[in-house]
Amino acid sequence: MMHCPFCRNSAHSRTSRYLSDSVKHRYYQCQNVLCSATFRSMESVESIIRQPVAGDEPADEFIQGEMDKAPKQRPSATQ
């Protein structure tokens, strides 16, 4: 959720588009019917707080199964 830059009411995300693995355009529509502005934001990964743990396979079978189900990054996916 983001505030409308014109009226400051809440705006809802309608669709998004990845420009690269770490940069995304997100399209918003203002929820104020008297405004109804639409605008686009850009999201990017600014910094990595913690790198993923590399090389360690979890010993737990259930956790390994959950990791296998986790969605992989798709550059063209919308959210």
Residues that bind Zn ion (CB under 5 A): 4, 6-7, 30, 32, 35, 37
What per-residue string of b and e applies to 19-39 under the rule 16 or more CB within 10 Å gives b? eeeeebebbbbbeeeeeeeee
Reading the block at residue 14, the tokens are 């309608």
Helix, strand or coil for residue 30?
A: strand
Min dist CB 35 to Zn ion, Å, is 3
Cβ 40 to Zn ion, closest distance in Å?
Answer: 14
Q: How far is the CB of 2 from Zn ion (least distance, A)?
A: 11
Residue 19: strand, helix, or coil = strand
Cβ closest to Zn ion, residue 16 vs residue 29 = 29
Q: Which is nearer to Zn ion, 26 or 35 (CB)?
A: 35
